[in-house]
Every structure is written in structure tokens, then in C-alpha cells.
A and B are shown apart, each in its own frame.
Chain A
């Protein structure tokens, strides 16, 4: 195993560790089968963020992201790589955790160590 493959395996192990680590159980919903929850374990971040709407007065917001192992994503048999769906005639990629539902707003894959970072937005 090369160093890069080792790094990807280590990243997967870290992201998947929901017992001794910071891994979190979550579900991903594929637009191709929007009612089927595909389980993952990954990192979840939900931190405050200041939104600057250019009025010189800020709006308090949140930045919510999940990080998954690309090895897990590729093994899940999804219809494609999760990303933001601009076309409103189709369903978006949806992530659920802690009873909250989110839409994938931006997909940021890191293929060096096989991590997929998804930036999420509120979804009702």
C-alpha cells in the first residue's frame, strides 16, 4: 500500500469511528431514490457563521458541513457523486442527522486522501 492509499484508509478509519472518535451517524438520500436512506458515518460540523449581505449589517448564520470517506461513497452504489442540484425539476441530494434535514449546497471532494466535504443548507 502506497502512502496515499494509506492516508485514504486512515481518513476512512478516523471518519468512521463513532465509538472512540468524532464520527457521527447520518443518512444520505440519493435523488435517484429519494426515499431510501443510505447510512454513513462521518464528521459533522455545525458552527456559527456571519453572513455579510453587503448592507454593513450582518446576519447571524450557520455553516453546516459533513465529511465522508470517498471510499464509503463509492462503495455505497449511489447514482453519482453527491453535489448541488441546480435544476429545480429534480430532487437535491439530502443529508439527515439528529432529526435535521439538509440539502447539499456544494460538494468539495479531496481526492488526495479520499474525503468528500459537503456544504449543506437548510431544507424543509
Chain B
């Protein structure tokens, strides 16, 4: 058996590009939102997100710091292909799920005669993060995630807020939430590279006295 694909597969698939695009949109828009919040006289930290993509090491951002900026991790989960909306040669229509995980941290603190509860704060931080992520990605400006022609549609498939594990209580209060974003898009595959065989000239003329030319076609070919 000899290899049939004669060109190097040196490209990025659309599922990779879309994952990167989702993370880039969130990163750019959260910075923009902080600028807008400052201009509106509001605390910009409430619009801050720390955006990452495809990370799997344990999050240690909260371990030795007072930082409570929510963490966002965008990661590709799965894709299925719709044969009815594809063609067998070049284009496969993919229905993919991207998980966008939000981690909120809450720190208990004194508040007048009372206090702010860290467990509740962690949950509301995760909710705030979800709110920003969903609003940014579902904004009409991102109907096609900036990839019109490739992306058919994006849709928030589900939102899940996970219950904190309390078997051994941690000094940090952490709550995680997940937005599962469904994205439908085209995935393209390498194609047969045609070769020019020969050149033909064809003229079609009317068999009358005027000899009017109706059409002319030219086919390139290489001479031996």
C-alpha cells in the first residue's frame, strides 16, 4: 500500500481554532469590560476573569495569595459529526461541546457587626463568572464566534454548579461551575490534488453564413 496523500497535513483543525477563539474572546472582552466599568465609576475587579485554555494541572492560584479573581478554563470536550449535513468528500459538520469551567473563591471577612461568609461568597463569585462568560459568548457580536462561514451556531447547552466537597474542610472556599457550550461548525479534510492533463480548444459556431461564434472553451494541458 502506498500513501495517497501527497501533501503535508500542516493545518489546524477548526475544533482547535474555535477553542482558541472562545478563550481569546473571553480574555479580550473581560479586559474591555474592566475598562468600561472604570469609565462607569464601578469597581473593575468585578469584571475581571483569569482565562486559561486546556489546562489540567491543579489550580494553585488561590493557595498562597489573597487573589480572588475567578478562574476560567476553556476545554474541548467532545464532537459528533452529522452525516446528513455533511458531504463524504470534503466537509464534515461537527456538533462540538466546549466546557467552560468557572472557579470562584470566597474569603470570609468582617463586615461591620457581622461578617461575609466565604462559602456563600465562593458561590456568588462562581455565579458572577458564569454570568460574564454566558453574556460575552452569547452576545450578538459573537453569533458566529467571529468565524462566520465556519461556525454555524453556538448555543449554551447547559449550566451546572457543582456542590462543594465537605468531607475534609479546606481553609479556602471554592465553588466551581460549568457552562457547556455547543458549537456547530464545518471541519474540512485534505483533498485529492488534480493534475492538468491536456489543453483543448473548442469553438461552437452556428452553421449559417454569418458564422457567429456561440461559445469558446479552452482547456489547459501540458505538452509532452
Per-position binary interface string of chain B over residues 174-211, scored 1 when its CB falls under 8 Å from any chain A CB and 0 otherwise: 11101000000000000000000000000000000000
Partner of A124, one of B66, B117, B169, B178: B66
Q: Does B171 contact A (CB under 8 A)?
A: yes
Partner of B115, one of A46, A60, A103: A103
B170 touches A62 (CB 8 A): yes
A121 touches B108 (CB 8 A): yes
Per DSSP, chain A at the interface is strand
CB-CB under 8 A for A122 and B113, given A54-B162, A58-B58: no
Q: Does A90 contact B (CB under 8 A)?
A: yes
* Complex contacts, A51 vs chain B, CB 8 Å: 165, 170, 172, 174
Q: Chain A contact residues (Cβ within 8 angstroms of B): what range?
A: 20 to 34
B58 touches A60 (CB 8 A): yes
Give CA–CA (A78, B73) in the complex, Å.
46
Partner of A61, one of B101, B113, B174, B176: B174
* Complex contacts, B109 vs chain A, CB 8 Å: 123-124
Q: Does B107 contact A (CB under 8 A)?
A: yes
Contact sample, A vs B, 6 pairs, CB 8 Å cutoff: A53-B164, A55-B99, A60-B60, A91-B115, A123-B118, A124-B66
